[in-house]
Amino acid sequence: MLLAAFCLLAGSGYLAGAQERRVPDSLSQLQLSYAPIVQRVAPAVVNVYATHIVENQNPFLSDPFFRQFFGGGAPSKQVERSLGSGVIVDPAGLVVTNYHVIEGASEVKIALSDKREFDATIVLKDQRSDLAVLRVKDARDERFPVLQFANSDAVQVGDVVLAIGDPFGVGQTVTHGIVSALARTDIGTSDLQFFIQTDAAINPGNSGGPLVDMNGRIVGINSAIYSRSGGSQGIGFAIPANMVRVVVASAEGGGSAVKRPWLGAKLQEVTHDIADSLGLKRPSGALVASVAPGSPAARAAIKTGDLLVSVDGVTVEDPNAFNYRFATKPLGGTAQIGVLRQGHDLVVPVALEAPPERARDELTISGRWPFSGLTVANLSPALADELRLDPQIEGVVVTAVPDSTTIGPMGFRFQRGDIIVSVNDQKIGHSTDLQRVASAAGRSLRILMIRDGQHIQLTLGG
């Protein structure tokens, strides 16, 4: 019966390389089964178990006022475990999952569909795309089953897809549905937002598992759901395969970080008012708010006020769509960027280059509160691009914050991406500048910092 179903699927074009999309036109077609696809795909889907060590500390004792009277005490450690899914994309044991599945993990294991378990190492973490790549340890001469990538740009609304993973830890589960929308950008789970939306049931534990088409190829990696209850409500989001392919290629090339093209321009949304001022019928495109000197955008003569409307002939509706299209281009060569300038349509070639890097000199600050425990680094165009910051800002950026770090009784916390510009009117241009100030800081501090483009002045102490 399964073989017959497989033949019917193949004969109807569902498994052909260039499949013809059509609705069922007979009862026999409605009785077809997805089983042959599942049998081929399921062995490459794995469970991902991540172990985290977290410190529990009384929140009152993180404030220096309370520590003065009660002492800080030693924080207790607790082991937490998270469960997600993944998919093998290389026979040697390269596995793709979500960044948030393995974030902060001290130990990672994977389990195959045949119940075998392997330790895994984290090869690459890419928080911007919410993707991570693992490698199976001690696989010896094992050749693992793999899935191939589809061209996610060819996906259309209405295409049938299968989601495979381990929801709620109950074991490998397959659900089906259709692609219900494309290019969803306001999800908030990553910086590079351009999700495929599906109504296939996705629940906690599905994160990192594949969304596959009727050819058994990876269309996307399931990453998030919209839910008021915590369970599936028919709206799931997957990272497109073309973005996943870029991250995997970086890992296969031996990189510990993903290198993407850098435009060197700050983009903003086109509102209805801006659209009216530009003479547009509707809001679309990405408006250039500023251009970094010497950047690829500057060398291509892109100017503040230009409206970017396409990348290599593909229309972009908003800054997120532009960032996705541009970020998935391979380094080297140029991209043809469509520009609307003062009512005139232009096409300008922009070099596809990685952002320039300089010594980050990342260090964890020791010394007095409130900087003690912060991990900071020198800001560079590469780091600014990684953290989605303005590359023209100078200062030292916070890259990690300990759980116990708070400032003052109101509980203000430093955040990843905060830029510390000055302390007590002393410019902070290097991570060692902040270490020096933290070591010599008195009881009174005036801190100038930038968060989300806004300047914040903090006055601490007496």
pLDDT of residue 2: 36
Q: Across all residues in the chain, what is the average pLDDT? A: 81
293 and 228 share a domain?
Answer: no
Can you read off the two tokens belonging to residue 148? 């191939």
The lowest-confidence range among 21-30, 115-124, 431-440 is 21-30
**259 part of a folded domain:** no
CA-to-CA distance for 243 and 250, rounded, in angstroms? 11
Query: pLDDT confidence of 1, banded at 50, 70, 90?
Result: very low
Which 8-state DSSP code applies to residue 448? E
Give residue for tokens 């230009």: 306
Q: Are residues 198 and 130 in the same domain?
A: no
Is residue 142 included in any domain, yes or no? Answer: no
- Return the structure tokens found at 8: 């019917």
For 175-195, the pLDDT digits (tens) are 888 988 887 666 554 556 678
d(CA 457, CA 100): 32
Q: Are 119 and 138 in contact (CB under 8 A)?
A: yes
Residue 11 has pLDDT above 50, yes or no: no
Lowest mean pLDDT among 24-28, 336-340, 440-444: 440-444
**Amino acid letter, residue 281:** K
pLDDT (tens digit per residue) in 204-217: 778 888 999 999 99
Work out the pLDDT band at 128, boundaries 50, 70, 90. Answer: confident
Long-range contacts of 115-124 (CB under 8 A, 24+ apart): 118/93, 120/48, 120/95, 123/94, 123/251, 123/256, 124/247, 124/250, 124/251, 124/255, 124/256, 124/257, 124/258
Q: And the tokens for 186?
A: 């306001």
pLDDT at residue 217, as a whole number? 94
* Structural domains of the chain, count: 5
Q: Is residue 393 part of a domain?
A: yes
Range of the domain at 211: 152-252
Least confident window among 125-139, 303-317, 408-422: 408-422
More confident: 460 or 153: 153
CATH number at residue 58: 2.40.10.10
For residue 4, the SS3 value is helix
Residue 146, domain member (yes or no): no
8 Å CB contact between 5 and 39: no
Give the pLDDT of residue 121. 92
Asked, for residue 292, whether it belongs to a domain, the answer is yes
My answer on whether 192 and 220 are in the same domain is yes
**Residue 390 shares a structural domain with residue 414:** yes
Question: The tokens of 95 are what?
Answer: 């596995």
- In sequence order, the 6+-apart residues with CB closer than 8 A to the CB of 257 are 124, 126, 250, 386
For the chain, how long is the longest CA-to-CA vector?
81
Cβ–Cβ < 8 Å for 327, 340: no
| Pair (373, 446) in one structural domain | yes
Residue 454's domain is classified under what CATH number? 2.30.42.10
pLDDT at 58 over 70: no
Q: For residue range 100-123, what is the model confidence (pLDDT) as tens digits?
A: 888 888 889 998 988 888 999 999
Inform me whether the pLDDT recorded for 14 exceeds 50: no
* Domain C-terminal end among 252, 280, 312: 252
Residue 233: pLDDT band with limits 50, 70, 90: low
Residue 9 has pLDDT above 90, yes or no: no
Same domain, yes or no, for 12 and 77? no
User: Is the distance from CB of 170 to CB of 209 less than 8 angstroms?
Assistant: no
pLDDT-derived band at 462, boundaries 50, 70, 90: low
Q: Are 264 and 381 in contact (CB under 8 A)?
A: yes
Tell me which residue has tokens 């009152």. 60
Give the residue numbers annotated as catalytic, written as ranges.
100, 130, 207
Same domain, 295 and 335: yes
Residues 22, 58: one domain?
A: no
Which pTM value belongs to this model?
A: 0.75
Model pLDDT, residue 212:
93
The 10s digit of each residue's pLDDT in 397-433 is: 998 887 655 555 456 788 888 999 988 888 888 988 8
Q: Which residue has the tokens 């955008």?
A: 297
Classify residue 19 as left (phi > 0), alpha (psi -120 to 50) or beta: beta
